[in-house]
């Protein structure tokens, strides 16, 4: 089955700096890659997703890039703000049509 | 539109007992997935139900089971509880399922096994 690895597990940045979270996947048939944000004590929520026929997608301060050849995808957050502090999960939809999540990155934005 | 509702929110059980958790999806959503969340392990896929049929299953022992009713509500059951089953169990509903489209998560059921 699919195996998703996510790095780093924790990340601290100064407010206004950029943050990058990287994920790799194993199943070459994977074709859908969402990112979820989970604030402390709250439920995960989708923040952005990308499909395998697209290399990059942006939504305001958030962008995701996908390299199918290398089987990795990344989340980029620019001009970070304290409200960006949360745990971020990447995920990949494998050939068996399951959504597999990474182990999460705890992002702390220091004011 | 009401969100995904999970009950109970918190529960404490002892080893060897069994537990049933309930999930009511967003109205109109036919897919319900269950995930186990533990520190350091992220969200691990348990199973997905779509129109009362289990469509996919993760790599969990047979002690973990589930079902879905005709109104799309789903239950998961864990029998012969072990200490390692302590976790936050999240369910998520989606319109299409199969790992595509947005998952809408509930707030979770936090299970503590003593």
Distance from CA of A44 to the nearest CA of B (A): 6
Average pLDDT over residues B6-22: 97
In the predicted model, what is the mean pLDDT of chain B? 93
- Are B55 and A97 within 8 A, CB to CB? yes
DSSP H helix total and E strand total for chain A:
0, 11
Q: What is the pLDDT of residue B71?
A: 93
The pLDDT value given to residue B1: 67
CA distances to A19, A87, B2, B23, B64 from B103, rounded to whole Å, are 24, 17, 15, 14, 21
Region A47-52 average pLDDT: 92
**What pLDDT is attached to residue A44?**
95
Is the pLDDT assigned to residue B23 strictly greater than 80? yes
Q: Do B42 and A98 touch (CB under 8 A)?
A: no
Q: What are the two backbone dihedrals, phi and then psi, of residue B3, each rounded to the nearest 5 degrees?
A: -85, -170
Span B86-107, pLDDT tens digits: 999 999 999 877 767 789 999 9
pLDDT band at B56 (very low <50, low <70, confident <90, very high): confident
From A32, A42, A89, residue closest to B43, measured CB to CB? A89
Mean pLDDT, to the nearest integer, of B6-18?
A: 97
Span A79-94, mean pLDDT? 95
* pLDDT score, position A53: 83
CB contact under 8 A, B44 and A49: no
Give the model confidence (pLDDT) of A23-37 as tens digits. 999 998 898 999 999
Residues 6+ apart with CB under 8 A from A40: A86
């Amino acid at each position: 089955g699919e195996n998703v690895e996510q790095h780093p597990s924790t990340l601290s940045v100064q407010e206004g700096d950029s943050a990058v979270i990287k994920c790799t996947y194993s199943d070459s048939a994977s074709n859908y890659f969402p990112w979820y944000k989970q604030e402390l004590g709250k439920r995960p929520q989708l923040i952005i997703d990308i499909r395998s026929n697209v290399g990059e997608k942006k939504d305001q301060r958030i962008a995701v890039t996908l390299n199918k050849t290398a089987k990795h995808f990344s989340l980029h957050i620019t001009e970070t703000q304290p409200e960006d502090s949360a745990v971020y999960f990447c995920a990949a939809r494998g050939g068996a049509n399951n959504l597999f999540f990474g182990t999460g990155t705890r992002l702390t934005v220091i004011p | 539109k009401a969100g995904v509702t999970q009950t109970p929110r918190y529960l404490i059980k002892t080893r060897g007992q069994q537990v049933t958790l309930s999930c009511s999806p967003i109205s109109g959503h036919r897919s319900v997935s269950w995930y186990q969340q533990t520190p350091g392990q992220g969200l691990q896929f348990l199973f997905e139900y779509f129109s009362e049929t289990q469509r996919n299953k993760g790599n969990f022992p047979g002690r973990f089971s589930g079902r879905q009713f005709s109104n799309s509500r789903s239950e998961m059951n864990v029998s012969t509880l072990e200490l390692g089953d302590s976790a936050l169990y999240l369910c998520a509903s989606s319109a299409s399922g199969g790992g595509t489209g947005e998952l809408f998560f509930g707030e979770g059921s936090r299970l503590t096994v003593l």
